[in-house]
Amino acid sequence: MNPELSQDLSLLHLILHASIPVQIVMALLLAASMMSWWFIFIKLFALRRTLRLTDRFEREFWAGGDINAMYQRVAAERESACEMERIFEAGFREFVKLRRQTGLSLNVIIDGTRRAMRATYQRELDALESHLSFLATVGSVSPYVGLFGTVWGIMIAFMGLSSVAQATLAQVAPGIAEALIATAMGLFAAIPAVVGYNRYTHDIDRLANRMESFMEEFSNILQRQTTKAA
């Protein structure tokens, strides 16, 4: 192989000597990829913490301990509590507040408790799903952005041949190579984003199902306890 041709086709050389539009495309894809990895790792650690604290809370809750003591602990540690704990805290706080009001039926008290838990559930779910839309956007758009860079690079490469009497591989290869780098970078940005989005969406859906089940079961427990007390 011609050493001069090999040097011209080195990755760094192709990136540094690419046309300005292709360099802009590469820079955008690199920035999107770095942000995707940042969000992927942030979400990974956040979901691991959420799963660990949720498992701990469910073990504590279903162990049959004092609900009032559990509420006091969660209320004191609300900032560091998991999503299910905050749902529990919001529901029990509303339940206690409504029970102190005279003239309210059991159905009104339980409905108010469920609405309080549902509102907190929606806020916590929105927080869990933060940054997922960015991963979805990167996963769906990056290949097309890379394809734009590829099309532009190939177009420039062939336009450069218009003033050449006889085209050779050495003349057209650098332009095509830099164009294909843009496609590769688009896939490099898209694939981890899609994998991360699908994985975290699945994990969050499972957490959402657990939280919804807990809200229903906790509401039933409060209803039974109120009925017995009456």
Q: pLDDT tens digits for 59-79?
A: 999 988 788 999 999 999 888
Q: How far is CA 117 from CA 87, 95, 128, 135, 210, in A?
A: 5, 10, 16, 29, 13
Q: What is the pLDDT of residue 3?
A: 45
Measured CA to CA, the distance from residue 63 to residue 56 in angstroms comes to: 11
Measured CA to CA, the distance from residue 153 to residue 180 in angstroms comes to: 8
Q: What is the pLDDT of residue 164?
A: 61
| 6 part of a folded domain | no
Q: List, in order, residues 6 or more apart from 146 with CB less than 8 Å away.
A: 25, 29, 182, 183, 184, 185, 186, 187, 189
Q: What is the pLDDT of residue 163?
A: 64
| 4 part of a folded domain | no
Q: What is the pLDDT of residue 160?
A: 67
| 59 part of a folded domain | yes
| 3 part of a folded domain | no
| 199 part of a folded domain | yes
Lowest average pLDDT, out of 18-22, 30-34, 128-132, 148-152, goes to: 18-22
Residue 128 Cα to chain centre, angstroms:
8
Measured CA to CA, the distance from residue 97 to residue 83 in angstroms comes to: 21
**Under DSSP, is residue 167 helix (H, G, I), strand (E, B) or coil?**
coil
Lowest average pLDDT, out of 78-92, 122-136, 173-187, goes to: 173-187
* For residue 87, pLDDT beyond 60: yes
DSSP assignment string, 77-105: TGGG--HHHHHHHHHHHHHHHHHTSTT--
| 142 part of a folded domain | yes
| 176 part of a folded domain | yes
**What are 178-189's pLDDT values in tens digits?**
778 888 899 999
The dihedral through the CA atoms of 89, 94, 100, 106 has a sign that is negative
* For residue 138, pLDDT beyond 90: yes
| 5 part of a folded domain | no
- Against a cut of 0.85, is the pTM above it? no
Total number of domains in the chain: 1
The mean per-residue pLDDT over the stretch 104-132 comes to 93
Range of the domain at 15: 11-229
Q: What is the pLDDT of residue 6?
A: 46
